[in-house]
């Protein structure tokens, strides 16, 4: 089992490798090469570990909203075909991230956390979530395939659903949600589905039409919107049968996916997530001074650093807040708990269906 010290050493070595790649004239990313020319330090010699990334300012996510994707093509990937994935776009123009293999690599690593007892190899999956430019559509299908199975899909335009919701067209929103669920039920009626990916709000609605506790589904991956402990308790104790495992995830286009610890009543049904270190690192920082961490057990703003050869993004402040979690035996590094939209404790935040 990896110790916290061994993980720190591994992360520091990974940081050095990624900085060397993205700031090299041979393999580097044009955006970062141009940025480095305006700095008073050379990242390749100054950044020796993760803590040194504090020399970078917080990443400005607006640069990912421009149409100039060429500036984020590492020279080491020049000429190779890539995909353009988009974030949710719930706050305006979506962020865009290029991917050659990252979306597959992330889910290759994630797959080992899914228990075969509830997500068996060779299973048939149903994905009820966003398609189009979202990477989640391809990654869930890939996850099913690498585990020897196959995946059916229901098309979901999450942006349109949210537009209906925030504009007060609640009747149309309900109709669209019913339209999505009707498609899901149609597949469930004709296909023996064992594993399901779905968002929390759609999961509750699906159970009303197709009682999940009486179905053949043994594993449910749930993600896309936040879930309160009360919702988790309701789903695990009153909706799902004992044979069905709920496996919440936290992730997005810019990070990848973070698995959750097993849900336990003795923990108050709190959802605790640990990121895919060293490829992505989460810190929980003081909203008023985001260069400093909050204490363990305290709430702060989530800061994301992504470290792959395809994408380097240091210190991006997410629009989420969470509790800072201590390392644990399985994950010898910080995690995040009770993730929710930033500011949602002061006022409700509309999340739609994803």
Give the C-alpha separation, 45 to 47, whole Å.
6
State which of 199-208, 277-286, 337-346 shows the largest mean pLDDT: 277-286
- In which band, very low, low, confident or very high, does the pLDDT at 131 lie, cut at 50, 70 and 90? confident
Is residue 259 in some structural domain? yes
Q: 3-state DSSP call for residue 31?
A: helix
Is residue 278 in some structural domain? no
Give the C-alpha separation, 316 to 10, whole Å.
22
First-to-last C-alpha distance (Å) of the chain: 35
- In which band, very low, low, confident or very high, does the pLDDT at 201 lie, cut at 50, 70 and 90? confident
* Per-residue pLDDT tens over the stretch 216-255: 999 999 987 678 899 899 989 988 978 899 999 999 999 9
Q: Are strands 195-198 and 124-130 parallel, antiparallel or unpaired?
A: parallel
Which has the higher per-residue pLDDT, 30 or 88? Answer: 30
> What domain range is 194 assigned to?
1-271
pLDDT of residue 181 exceeding 80, the answer is: yes
Token couple for 233: 């308790």
Quote the pLDDT of residue 158: 84
Give the C-alpha separation, 128 to 245, whole Å.
17
pLDDT of residue 87 exceeding 90, the answer is: no
Is residue 138 in some structural domain? yes
Number of Cβ within a 10 Å radius of residue 266: 5
Kindly report the backbone phi and psi dihedral angles of residue 167, in degrees, each rounded to the nearest multiple of 5, phi listed first: -90, 0
Is residue 113 in some structural domain? yes
Is residue 91 in some structural domain? yes
Q: Which CATH number fits the domain that encloses residue 257?
A: 3.40.50.12780
Is residue 265 in some structural domain? yes
pLDDT of residue 137 exceeding 50, the answer is: yes
**Tokens 């990313």 label which residue?**
29
Is residue 266 in some structural domain? yes
pLDDT of residue 286 exceeding 90, the answer is: yes
SS3 content of the chain, % helix, strand, coil (to 5): 35, 25, 40
User: Maximum Cα–Cα distance for the chain, whole Å?
Assistant: 63
- Per-chain mean pLDDT for the chain: 92
Quote the pLDDT of residue 344: 62
Residues with Cβ within 8 Å of residue 18, at least 6 apart in sequence? 307, 308, 309, 312
DSSP 115-130: -TTTS-TT-EEEEEEE
Rounded mean pLDDT, 48-67: 94
Q: 3-state DSSP call for residue 319?
A: strand
For 29, 30, 65, 82, 312, the CA distances from 78, given in Å and listed in that order, are: 10, 11, 21, 10, 16
Let me know the angle formed at the C-alpha of 20 by 16 and 23, rounded to the nearest 5 degrees: 135
Q: Within its chain, how far is the Cα of 46 from the centroid? A: 30
- In which band, very low, low, confident or very high, does the pLDDT at 343 lie, cut at 50, 70 and 90? confident
Quote the pLDDT of residue 317: 97
Quote the pLDDT of residue 307: 98
Is residue 36 in some structural domain? yes
How many domains would you assign to the chain? Answer: 1
Quote the pLDDT of residue 354: 46
Quote the pLDDT of residue 353: 56
pLDDT of residue 297 exceeding 90, the answer is: yes
Rounded mean pLDDT, 179-192: 96
């Amino acid at each position: 089992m990896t110790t916290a010290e061994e993980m720190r050493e591994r992360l520091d070595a990974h940081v050095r490798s990624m900085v060397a790649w993205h700031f090299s004239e041979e393999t580097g990313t044009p955006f970062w090469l141009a940025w480095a020319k305006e700095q008073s330090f050379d990242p390749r010699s100054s950044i020796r570990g993760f803590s040194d990334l504090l020399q970078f300012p917080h990443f400005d996510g607006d640069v990912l909203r421009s149409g100039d994707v060429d500036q984020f093509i590492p020279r080491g990937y020049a000429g190779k075909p890539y995909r353009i994935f988009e974030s949710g776009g719930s706050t305006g123009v979506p962020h865009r991230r290029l991917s050659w293999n990252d979306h597959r690599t992330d889910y290759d690593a994630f797959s080992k956390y899914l228990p075969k007892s509830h997500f068996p190899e060779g299973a048939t999956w149903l994905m009820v979530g966003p398609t189009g430019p979202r990477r989640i559509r391809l990654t869930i299908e890939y996850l099913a395939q690498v585990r020897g199975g196959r995946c059916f899909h229901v098309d979901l335009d999450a942006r349109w659903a949210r537009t209906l919701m925030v504009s007060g067209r609640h009747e149309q929103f309900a109709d669209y949600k019913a339209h999505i669920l009707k498609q899901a039920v149609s597949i469930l009626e004709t296909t023996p589905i064992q594993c399901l990916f779905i968002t929390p709000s759609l999961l509750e609605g699906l159970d009303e039409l197709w009682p999940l506790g009486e179905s053949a589904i043994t594993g449910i991956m749930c993600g896309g919107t936040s879930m309160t402990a009360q919702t988790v308790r309701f789903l695990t104790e009153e909706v799902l049968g004992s044979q069905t495992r709920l496996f919440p995830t936290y992730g997005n286009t810019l990070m990848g996916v973070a698995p959750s610890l097993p849900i336990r009543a003795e923990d108050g049904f709190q959802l605790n997530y640990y990121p895919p270190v060293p490829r992505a690192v989460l810190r929980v920082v003081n909203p008023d001074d985001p260069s400093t961490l909050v204490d363990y057990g305290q709430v702060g703003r989530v800061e994301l650093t992504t470290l792959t050869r395809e994408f380097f993004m240091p210190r991006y402040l997410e629009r989420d807040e969470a509790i800072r979690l201590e390392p644990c035996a399985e994950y010898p590094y910080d995690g995040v708990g009770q993730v929710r939209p930033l500011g949602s404790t002061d006022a409700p935040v509309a999340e739609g269906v994803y």
